Amino acid sequence: MKIGFIGLGTLGREIAKRLISQGVELIIWNRSKEKAKQLELELVETPKDLISMVDKVFIIVSDSEASKKVIFGKDGLVEGDIQGKTIIDLTTNHYRYVVEAEKELKQKGAYYLEAPLLGSVIPAQRGELTVLVGGDQNKFEEAKDIFEKFCRNMIYLGEIGKATKLKLINNIVLGGYMAVLAEAMAIGEKAGLEKELLLEVLSNGAGRSYVLEVKKQKLLEEKFEPHFSVELMYKDLHYAQDLFKDFKAFSMVLQNVKEVYGFARSKDLGHLDFSVVYKIFKTE
């Protein structure tokens, strides 16, 4: 089984490695050739070349602008032999973009699945991600055997756009939880409570969460190697704000949460794991 793969960032690299370990042959296009060479994978010059060699291409890039570039830009996928092919976009995109992408690809005789992921590096390594899928159901069924190699849960949501909206809503909760946890930890320490005690009590009380479990070590050691960066969280919350605007929904929390990550970016922490906001509350 040969599939195309675009995007070897923090999460993309782990998914690619997981697929290889499960016997999937990958043909890669990546903006940085060095990252592909590190994995000793077959590398092509452009996305246009890639689509001519496979029936399915998985994309996982930073945002909708990057996705648009590799699909519709110069030497993009649409400039190759795309008729009848399936583009599976794992990127957390803007919900308006995925609707337009599917529409444009359908006009060119191709298929587009939105497939944003829940989980980051460790679940990817274990094959335990959750994928939310929207788009043509038959194409989803055809891609299931690949999803199963790196995802524990597959949730099909039907029409395009729903999966991306749900992912953004999930990340409102994720970003908000981490901001509140970081603030609570910081005031606890300033009040004379030990970090270890705070984490123990929160883990067994109101703060109990899968997120706390996987981020506990980062908070203890204050080592914030990125699994999911501040930049990506900020971008997702920015996209999520448009949901409130489009649906004229009342909001008092999201803007404040987004500003926490915006402040971290202004302190040159954007490349680090989003749990680094703990340092902001601790030091400011």
- Catalytic residue IDs: 167
CA distance 175 to 264: 13
Q: Can you point out the beta strands (E) in 8-105?
A: 25-29, 42-43, 56-59, 86-89
What count of other Cβ atoms lies within 10 Å of the Cβ of residue 95?
23
CA distance 177 to 23: 37
CB distance 199 to 216 below 8 Å: yes
How is residue 40 written in tokens? 């000793």
**57 has which bridge partners?**
4, 87
Find how far residue 118's CA is from the centre of its chain: 7
**CA nearest to 225, candidates 263, 273, 266:** 273
Number of DSSP helices (H) and strands (E) in the chain, helices first: 13, 9
How is residue 146 written in tokens? 């690949």
Instruction: Please count the residues of the chain.
Output: 284
Burial per residue of 25-46, b for 16 or more beta-carbon CB atoms within 10 angstroms, e otherwise? ebbbbbeeeebbeebebebbeb
CA distance 166 to 180: 21
